[in-house]
């Protein structure tokens, strides 16, 4: 048994950035990595045509669209603190993958566009954080452009998210009037320099503030609650920082706020008990599986969030789905674009475990195999399509590819009880494009999608007799998921409620715990 070193555990910060597409999350990710020294060249995100892509978006479809689709992890160290930044898919169609990533973090940064305020996707992701009481630091981005009045933004965060807001900084003007950012703690103003008006390190420690802003700044300092660490860590209060990721304003302050305030690894739920990071035994859970991360090697990597214990390379851990221990010989730590083999890992770390399909999303890994981490659900798909193979001789490759991609959580796959065509289910439209492009690029399978007669799916639960009876009369509307569980394929929501009324002994569930 390997007990976690509590000093090391205290120095871990595992966090994600949540935002609406286009609020500047990819740019902020880059700048955090740059400031943290993890990458030496920030891919200029704006130059879409340039070969220097944003370094955190590495899949082809991301490069074409300039969005983050896969959630990866980037680790960097600064001033004795190890930061594990989990990149969440920024596109609205990836709520399921994003949801799972948010189960693996201890805190989050919420990025808001100064001109747009809180947008629907930010709100959705925020609700996920709230479910798990994940503490949030807010970063209002793009203040070097014209934006909405500061108080309007602060009040919108407070009202829409029912959170106390505590501003920690204030933009001295926005857009054309932008003169820098005042830090409330130090009283210094970070000033723009040069023709590009970037922040290059110039701080004014005795600033003359234009009268126009002086009164507002005073009001912001006294009119909102003071920062309270306990309220923040309970998820009731958010400190608010202002800046421009593109022009380097506010990035250092953000890293320092995470180091200073964000919680170290938190206990994780396993049924009725909470597993503390200080527990002797090494435990963790798989929140993501990614196939073909390295195009040169057809590898699959399971991302494990370590919850407790000190992991040592070569250790044997038992996955809950398997029952027999596996040796982990080449676990990977991710330093931005590079990967390194990990000799040790502590609670809060994310390690990549190469495997050939033995590890799946939702699996718990542990030394004794007597714990199950809970709270990683599958969601009922909102779009269902039939897969049409262009070359019928590739049926076997297609089945393998669909199994792989469903294991990753990109799609769900259903095998109808009658009829041969596989049905894929997704939460959002973009996943279908990702599916077709990855089938072709990674599995050399050319396929198309056609309409399916079904609108949604529900997992069926109940005693065997009731299930058999139901199956006898509804075979044409039944399928199995990749675990072999029975799924009712409904033609409409009305269909679901009708069957529920007719079969009170069965549960028709829209989520399935992994």
Q: Any binding-site annotation on 251?
A: no
Q: Do 487 and 460 touch, CB atoms closer than 8 A?
A: yes
C-beta separation of 43 from 53 below 8 A = yes
Q: Do 348 and 11 touch, CB atoms closer than 8 A?
A: no
Are 5 and 310 in contact, with CB atoms under 8 Å apart? yes
Q: 24: annotated binding-site residue?
A: yes
451 labelled as ligand-binding? no
Nearest in space to 82 (alpha carbons), one of 156, 15, 163: 15
Contact residues for 148 (Cβ-Cβ < 8 A; gap 6+): 114, 115, 117
Inter-helix orientation angle 120-131/95-102, to 10°: 40
Residue 234 annotated as lining a ligand binding site:
no
186 is in an annotated binding site: no
CA 243, CA 142: separation in Å to the nearest integer?
A: 6
The reply, when asked if residue 356 is annotated as ligand binding, is no
Indicate the SS3 state at residue 244.
Answer: strand
Query: Would you say 23 is a known binding-site residue?
Result: yes
- For tokens 């286009």, what's the residue? 22
195 is in an annotated binding site: no
* 468 annotated as a binding-site residue: no
Please state, in angstroms and rounded to a whole number, the distance separating the CA atoms of residues 352 and 360: 13
Q: Is 124 flagged in the annotation as binding?
A: no
144 annotated as a binding-site residue:
yes
Contact 139, 107 (CB under 8 A): no
Residue 40 marked ligand-binding? no
Instruction: Flag whether 141 is marked binding.
Output: yes
* Residue 72 assigned as binding residue: no
Task: Check whether 223 is labelled as a binding-site residue.
Answer: no
Query: How buried is residue 468: exposed, middle or buried, by Cβ count under 10 Å (0-12/13-18/19+)?
Result: exposed
374 marked ligand binding residue? no
Through-space distance between the first and last CA atoms of the chain, rounded to whole angstroms: 27
DSSP secondary-structure letter at 227?
P
Binding-site annotation: residue ranges for GTP: 19-26, 87-91, 141-144
Binding-site annotation: residue ranges: 19-26, 87-91, 141-144
């Amino acid at each position: 048994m390997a007990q976690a070193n509590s000093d090391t555990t205290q120095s871990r910060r595992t966090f994600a950035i949540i935002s609406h597409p286009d609020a500047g999350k990819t740019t902020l990710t880059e700048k955090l990595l740059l400031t943290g020294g993890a990458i030496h060249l920030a891919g200029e995100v704006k130059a879409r045509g340039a070969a220097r892509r944003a370094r955190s978006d590495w899949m082809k479809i991301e490069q074409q669209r300039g969005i983050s689709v896969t959630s990866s992890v980037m680790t960097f160290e600064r001033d004795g603190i190890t930061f594990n930044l989990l990149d969440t898919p920024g596109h609205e169609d990836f709520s399921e993958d994003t949801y799972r990533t948010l189960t693996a973090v201890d805190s989050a940064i919420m990025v808001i566009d100064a001109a747009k305020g809180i947008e629907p996707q930010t709100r959705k992701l925020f609700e996920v954080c709230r479910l798990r009481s994940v503490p949030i630091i807010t970063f209002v981005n793009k203040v070097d452009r014209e934006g909405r009045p500061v108080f309007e933004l602060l009040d919108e965060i407070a009202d829409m998210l029912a959170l106390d807001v505590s501003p920690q900084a204030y933009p001295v003007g926005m857009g054309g009037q932008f003169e820098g950012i005042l830090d409330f703690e130090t009283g210094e103003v970070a000033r723009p320099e040069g023709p590009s008006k970037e922040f290059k390190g110039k701080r004014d420690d005795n600033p003359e503030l234009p009268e126009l802003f002086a009164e507002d700044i005073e009001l912001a300092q006294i009119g909102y609650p003071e920062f309270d660490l306990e309220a923040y860590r309970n998820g009731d209060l958010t400190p608010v920082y202002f800046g421009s990721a593109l022009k380097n304003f506010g990035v250092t302050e953000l890293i320092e706020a995470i180091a200073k305030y964000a919680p170290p690894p938190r206990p994780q739920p396993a049924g009725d008990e909470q597993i503390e990071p200080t527990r002797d035994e090494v435990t963790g859970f798989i929140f993501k599986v990614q196939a073909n991360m390295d195009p040169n090697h057809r590898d699959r990597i399971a991302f494990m969030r370590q919850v407790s214990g000190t992991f040592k390379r070569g250790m044997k851990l038992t996955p809950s789905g398997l029952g027999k221990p596996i040796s982990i010989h080449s676990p990977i730590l991710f330093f931005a674009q590079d990967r390194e083999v990990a000799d040790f890992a502590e609670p809060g770390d994310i390690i990549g475990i190469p495997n050939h399909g033995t590890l799946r999303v939702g699996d718990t890994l542990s030394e004794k195999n007597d714990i199950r981490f809970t709270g990683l659900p599958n969601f009922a798909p909102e779009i269902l399509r039939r897969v049409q193979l262009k070359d019928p001789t590739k049926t076997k490759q297609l089945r393998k590819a669909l199994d792989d991609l469903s294991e990753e959580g990109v799609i769900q796959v259903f095998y109808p009880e009658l009829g041969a065509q596989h049905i894929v289910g997704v939460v959002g439209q973009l996943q279908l494009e990702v599916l077709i492009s990855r089938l072709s690029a990674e599995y050399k399978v050319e396929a198309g999608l056609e309409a399916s007669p079904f609108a949604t799916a529900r997992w069926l639960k109940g005693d065997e007799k009731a299930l058999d009876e139901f199956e006898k009369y509804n075979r044409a509307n039944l399928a199995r998921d990749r675990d072999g569980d029975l799924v009712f394929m409904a033609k409409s929501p009305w269909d679901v409620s009708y069957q529920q009324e007719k079969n009170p002994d069965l549960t028709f569930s829209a989520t399935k715990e992994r």
